[in-house]
Chains A and B, each alone.
Chain A
Amino acid sequence: MSTEHNCWQCGTPDVASLFCRYCNSLQAPIPNYYEFFGLNCQLALNPDHLQKQFYQLSRLLHPDRYTRRSEQEKHYSLQASSILNDAYRVLRDPIRRSEYVLNQAGFEIGDPRNKEVPPELLEEVFELNMALDELRMGDTEVLPQLDEMRQHFLDMMAEMDGELESQFLTHDAQPDDEARRKVLTGIRAILNRRRYIRNLVDEVDKQLTARNA
């Protein structure tokens, strides 16, 4: 994506960064999260480095710094810091980060409310639904079993998180777009399974909190 343009203030051509290199005024922000952070589109990110970068950019862009500046710069500061905050929220979370990369690469991501059961989980989901039904009828004897199943799902998620981490490194090491797309396809499959399990855990939690309330 080309983000080069002329400075709105002094007309200096080909301003590509946050500030005009000539008159130092704030420019219209770049909407791409990676570009905003000055990063290559890599999936494995160092959280400490990201935080440091976030703080540094906040110091430069936050509206508090533009109270006494022109209306145009105030406007850009508001836009830029909202993109910065949104970007940091997405990039610091491995799941949302990979969803963002998939999205940017043009992949369709499954509907978060998709109820279609992945075949390998059929048996477990069936058991879970039985247990939840019994709980709804007031049978508290299923509670230990529910707890066990919940833990089982959490373990599965942790396992997938490990799997994702190594896939991230594989992705970043690929030489070209085509090779990267292949890895992304695999990542998408893991994410879809993970999301399904996440929903199951949420469902259990919801039932349990509803019962406690």
Chain B
Amino acid sequence: MSTFQIDFSSVNKKRIVGIDLGTTNSLIAFMDLTGPEVIPGADGSALLPSIVSLNDDGTFTTGAAARRLLIDRPDRTVYSVKRLMGRGVDDVRNELRLFPFHIAAGSEQVIRLQLGDRQLTPPEISAQVLRELKHRAEEFLGEEITQAVITVPAYFNDAQRQATKDAGRIAGLEVLRLVNEPTAASLAYGLDKRKDGVVAVYDLGGGTFDISILRLKEGIFEVLATNGDTHLGGDDIDNRMLSIALEDIATEWGEDVSTNGEAVQTIRQAVIEAKEKLSFVPTAALEIHYQGKQYLRELRRDLFEQLIKDIVDRTLGPCRQAMRDAGLQPEQIDEVVMVGGSTRIPLVRSAVETLFRAKPHTDLNPDEVVALGAAVQAAILSGDVQDKLLLDVTPLSLGIETMGGVVSKLIHRNSTIPASATEVFTTSVDGQQNVLIHVLQGERELVKDGRSLARFDLKDLAPVPAGMARIEVRFLIDANGILNVTARDLRSGKEQSVEVKPSYGLTDEQVEAMVLESFEKAEDDFQARQVREARVEADTIFSAVDKARSNDAWHTLDSEEQAAVDLALNELHMVYHGEDHLLIRDRIEKLDNTTRRLAENMMNTAVRAALKGTKV
């Protein structure tokens, strides 16, 4: 039997891409024969600003073009949406003050941004960024892309991960794996170094901070511990500088502009520019012009460092905790790898150097390394890379609510995933037909302090006396860090149905509706684009043939040849409005073939005419 088995897995293999869906910028990369490579956009840059603007006609502008709209249309242009993924409005109330967009009512479980007359959730907005990246890759590689690996901060919880997966689905991508950003970075680093040892990855991006400690051994990348803060990054530095500037400007101009979206975005961009310059030069000008008023300051690096020191220091606690959890001293860490745009800041580098007592490794491009690592992981999944394997961990403990509002931990943080735990539940009342299980994530001991993940309802239990039911529930965290729950009635041995009520995020039905809606609106669909492009090509050849027929060269063809051209022309016209781009292209080629002699003759006529001209 096995002799006849053919492995079809390598035939017709679809390409899997790697995506870094960042707070500030996003990138897409793929694995080439020579190694991972990022894909540039039409502007030549691999960085796609994670900014999405809703146009009046319901379409979207994404990336660098949307950045300009931050100032012109601040109430319809969204940035840093990653900070809102998998969150409720209460989680982000503080930072929403500085966001110019409006939050619609009913945002307790999923934030809904009011952009013009539409309400959009963070996964839908992220999906626009993903769609743009997908488009880029399709243009570049000339093939349809439907499968991807997407990176997430290591410290993302279940809801944040699920929201990222939802975004992929809405964008028409099957997300084969969510990979933690620092782990992905370590893959790109390991490709470079090929050295065994213990590595810490310090990843300070636009909105999130992660620290991961890994053991690299014989191609295995084993995460020993991870920690972080999903609300700590370059944005916090920007916001700090922004609020100081706003106060100072209010004094200088005698006008508080902090509620004026356009003014705030102008100042925000100026502040970011100054921040970025200060990584390379000791002083930078902060220059703001707004409606005829101006504000000029010279910013010194030492003052800047003073202003942001507490933000940088907030990264050190998680680093120490990760070392404790890994059971390691700073001396036992062979190298610290720096990832994320904010690690360009000299103060960040020196803080890391002091803590780990070693100079950090800064050779990798901190903007690209995560996307490159994602492409390597994609190649691991496709089987193209076989000597490497990531063993990641769950960043947060998982527990259930027990008597007295206490959390009982089932899976501890830093457990290698996939990880599982089983627990047997029973009923407390005669004939009870359902049991509600409340699952929480995090390290807190009391339910009221913890973060609710979901409620699982074991339904349709067979009615038996209290305490007689025995339902075994299996909690399984998969390789994406997402919880799956299954249940079995131990008395009957039958699968027990479980209804999931996520505490934050979209239900399956909601995501499905968004997927459908996005398909209806997707003019961007690869297939449609192919047809469009084929028609453009047909248009070009139509007008060329038209022109040729009025040329003298047309009469150099015999009547048979002329008839063949007319036939081919007709045949192309017949398929022009069809939806089969391959057929259109086939007919274009045929027309091209029948007109070859005509084109040559035209060329000769033109050359002859030109030669004649020179003689005179």
What is the chain B residue whose CB lies nearest that of A62? B389
Segment from A64-72, A125-133, A138-146, A170-178 that makes contact with B: A64-72
What is the chain A residue whose CB lies nearest that of B484? A78
Give residues 37-76 of A contacting B (CB, 8 Å): 55, 58-59, 62-65, 67-69
Known contacts A10-B1, A55-B218, A68-B382; A63 and B419 CB within 8 A of each other: no
A83 lies within 8 A of B382 (CB): no
A67 lies within 8 A of B381 (CB): yes
**Cβ 8 A contact of B479, one of A22, A59, A64:** A64
B476 lies within 8 A of A82 (CB): yes
Q: Which residues of chain A are within 8 angstroms of B421 by Cβ–Cβ distance?
A: 86
Interface of B is mostly: mixed
Q: Which residues of chain B are within 8 angstroms of A168 by Cβ–Cβ distance?
A: none
A17 beta carbon closer than 8 Å to chain B = no
A23 lies within 8 A of B5 (CB): yes
B177 lies within 8 A of A82 (CB): no
B383 beta carbon closer than 8 Å to chain A = yes
Give residues 402-433 of B contacting A (CB, 8 Å): 415-421
What is the chain B residue whose CB lies nearest that of A89? B415
Fill in one digit per residue for B557-573: 1 if any A CB lies within 8 Å of its CB, else 0. 00000000000000000
B391 beta carbon closer than 8 Å to chain A = yes
A192 beta carbon closer than 8 Å to chain B = no
Known contacts A58-B220, A78-B476; A64 and B177 CB within 8 A of each other: yes
Q: Which residues of chain B are within 8 angstroms of A59 by Cβ–Cβ distance?
A: 220, 389
A24 beta carbon closer than 8 Å to chain B = yes
Known contacts A23-B2, A24-B2, A78-B476; A85 and B418 CB within 8 A of each other: yes
B418 lies within 8 A of A63 (CB): yes
Report the minimal beta-carbon distance from B276 to chain A, rounded to whole angstroms: 36
B485 beta carbon closer than 8 Å to chain A = no
In the bound assembly, the distance between CA atoms of A10 and B4 in angstroms comes to 13
The size bracket of the interface on B is 20 to 34
In the bound assembly, the distance between CA atoms of A22 and B389 in angstroms comes to 26
What is the chain A residue whose CB lies nearest that of B179? A64
A167 beta carbon closer than 8 Å to chain B = no
In the bound assembly, the distance between CA atoms of A82 and B476 in angstroms comes to 8
B218 lies within 8 A of A69 (CB): no
A82 lies within 8 A of B418 (CB): yes
Q: Which residues of chain B are within 8 angstroms of A24 by Cβ–Cβ distance?
A: 2
Knowing that A58-B220, A67-B177, A85-B418 are A-B contacts, what are 19 other residue pairs whose CB atoms are under 8 Å apart, sorted by A's residue number?
A23-B5, A24-B2, A55-B217, A59-B220, A62-B479, A63-B478, A64-B479, A67-B381, A68-B13, A68-B381, A69-B9, A78-B478, A81-B479, A82-B419, A82-B420, A85-B419, A86-B420, A89-B416, A89-B419
Using CB atoms and an 8 Å cutoff, list the residues of chain B in contact with chain A: 1-2, 5, 9, 13, 176-177, 217-218, 220, 222, 377, 380-383, 389-391, 415-421, 476, 478-479
Sample (25) of A-B pairs whose CB atoms are under 8 Å apart: A10-B1, A22-B1, A22-B2, A23-B5, A24-B2, A55-B217, A55-B220, A58-B389, A59-B389, A62-B389, A62-B391, A63-B479, A64-B177, A64-B380, A64-B479, A65-B383, A67-B176, A67-B382, A67-B383, A68-B9, A68-B13, A68-B381, A78-B478, A81-B418, A89-B416
Task: Please list the 9 inter-chain residue pairs (A to B) with the smallest Cβ-Cβ separation, ordered nearest first.
Answer: A82-B418, A85-B416, A82-B420, A67-B381, A68-B9, A63-B479, A55-B220, A81-B418, A23-B2
